[in-house]
Structure 1
Amino acid sequence: MLTFNRHSSFEIDRTLEADSHPICWLGLCELRLIDDRRWPWVVLIPQRNGITELHELTPLDQTMMTFETNEVAAALCAISDCDKINRGALGNIVPQLHYHIVARNAGDPNWPGPVWGYGVREPYGSEERIAFCDRLKQQLTQS
């Protein structure tokens, strides 16, 4: 189920908030678009304050996180026609638990290397960002 409002008690790390745009709420996570148009790149942030590692979530939340990341990965793959989905939860700079999902294609910037720290970020234009988010939300509701 998609919703579009953050739960009032949930606090998102300022860096994550500054580097991304909200798309929607899933059951457990807020889905956000990383503001770098070089790659279709989203992040899921579970609405649990004070959690830094996946194993700190309850078993039910771990299951929900796995389900939501798989749903988002499939939707991102469908709308981007990518060669590969990269996933990761590093947390070295931002300790709040968040899970990256990046659609990659052979020949994209820094292929096959990682997207983190590569080159200069290229922010989305407003119309392009809104269109991308709308396509992803539509794909998520169809799955």
Structure 2
Amino acid sequence: MSTALQNPLALAGRILLAALFVPAGIGKITGFAGTVGYATAMGMPMPSVGVAVGLAIELFGGLALLLGFGTRIAAVALAVFTLVASFIFHAYWAQPADAQMMQQLLFFKNIAVTGGLLAFAAFGAGAWSVDAARTAR
């Protein structure tokens, strides 16, 4: 593939991944009590703390990824968060048979998202990013 496409594709990838995390973080702000209730029902230890940490990672990590600011660190934080959340909230193997298919789909979607985040952690945000502008100075 042409290297001329690397920067627009990296930007598109960052936008698309941020579109998953930023609204989820905002949703946790606007529906904090409900999210804590759901986390409690799923057996998350210290659900208020866990939801608050998740909110911060999704919102600030998503915005950092979008801007390409501290991209590698943000991508690792989001990848770890996504992987942990997958095992807590999408444990399809522990679901009744009629609920397994949807949870399995969500689990493996999160695994794929984690893979995309790890690629940004490995290769960075590309030239169209705050990271690249800061390095150029």
When the two structures are superposed, what TM-score results if normalisation uses the length of structure 1?
0.29
Greater helix share, 1 or 2? 2
TM (norm. structure 2) is 0.30
Give 1 or 2: higher strand fraction.
1
